[in-house]
Structure 1
Amino acid sequence: MVFHLRAATGQDLPFARTLTREAMNGYYRQYGLWWSNDGFDTAWAGRENWLICRDDSVLGFISLSRDSRALYIRELHMLEACRGQGAGSWVLEQMALKAQALGLLRLTVFKTNPARQLYQRTGFNIVGEEDCFWRMERVCRSS
């Protein structure tokens, strides 16, 4: 299967917001956190956002930020029907390539989220914790 990324536009915001809310709702309830559409929209405006696609189908999206040391995956969500098809692993490899100039790829994941196993399989290590989250990173150096 051939996947590709397409730069997200403002027209993609409702899709990304709904996908994120649906994917994260159980974790938010579990940990007593509150979802904010306005908070999501504000974060979206300040990030690099991509749709994960196969042919003309949108499978999910990824949202990124960066500083001088690392590329940060802020959101990575797949439509439920599209999980387990390799797109998540593929996009993590693409982000590792993108992070080579900075050296680190970082993310935060809820402690009870099974996606942590995918992250560990693709080279991420747990480097810290905050309340209900694991902080994870992958070293990405160009050879």
Structure 2
Amino acid sequence: MEDMSPIIRPTDDKAFAENIIIQNMSAYYNQLDMRWDTSLFAKQWGELDSYELIINASRVGLLCINHDENAYYIRELQIDQKWQRQGVGTAAIRYTEEIAKQAGIHLLRLRVFCINPASALYERMGFHVRKTEGGTHYMERRIL
């Protein structure tokens, strides 16, 4: 299958973001006996730089990032289930790397549930597990 390169553009559509996160994550939340917290999401939403990923004029994904002086953090990377495993997540990670590089920051970090198969994508892209705690891998990679 060819790699689809999404258009990545800023979004402030909180409802779209919340919907795709819940769609993708509810199975993990159920398995881990966690609850989605809309008010917490609303509070955190304002602190994130959020982007929608567009293919053929449809929104197929969400990328939310923020940073401190040491690292850029991928807070959400959600790809619509129909578009997973087609290079969209990879494109979003590369996009984040570019932003970080332009800011002079050479470290990317993210968290992923241990049971989430996306951790394999992150490992393929050079992330390694820094620590594992509470069913979550804390992963990072250097940007060269």
TM-score when scaled to structure 2? 0.91
1:81 is aligned with what amino acid?
A: K
**Structure 2 alignment gaps of length 5 or more:** none
Q: CA RMSD in A?
A: 1.1
Partner of 1:21: 22
Q: For residues 45 and 136 of structure 2, what CA distance do their matches in structure 1 show?
A: 21
Residues 89-116 of structure 1: CA distance to partner in whole angstroms, max 9, x if unpaired?
A: 1111111222221110000000000000
Please state whether the residue corresponding to 1:84 is helix, strand or coil: coil
Which of 129, 133, 138 aligns to 1:130? It is 133
Deviations, residues 33-76 of structure 1 (Å, cap 9, x unaligned)? 11111111111111100001124221110111100100000011
Q: Residue 71 of structure 1 contacts residue 106 of structure 1 at CA under 8 Å; is this kept in 2?
A: yes
What is the percentage of aligned positions where both structures have the same residue? 31
**Secondary structure of the structure 2 residue equivalent to 1:75:** strand
TM-score by length of 1: 0.92
Q: Is the 8 A contact 1:97 1:140 kept in 2?
A: no
Contact 2:111 2:139 in 1 (8 A): yes
Residue aligned with 2:78, SS: strand
Letter in 1 for 2:143: C
- Find the residue that maps to 1:65 and give its secondary structure: strand
* Superposition misfits of 4+ residues, deviation over 2 angstroms: none
Give 5+ residue unaligned stretches, structure 1: none
How many residue pairs are counted as aligned between the two chains? 139
Aligned to 1:62, what secondary structure does the other structure show? strand
| Whole-Å separation in 1 of the counterparts to 2:141 and 2:56 | 29
Counterpart residue identity of residue 49, structure 2:
E
What is the deviation of 1:2?
Answer: 3.3
Residue 99 of structure 1 aligns to a residue whose secondary structure is: helix
The structure 1 residue matched to 2:113, chosen from 110, 114, 132, is 110
Distance 2:84 2:8 in 1: 16
Paired residues of 1:2 and 1:55 also in contact (CA < 8 A): no
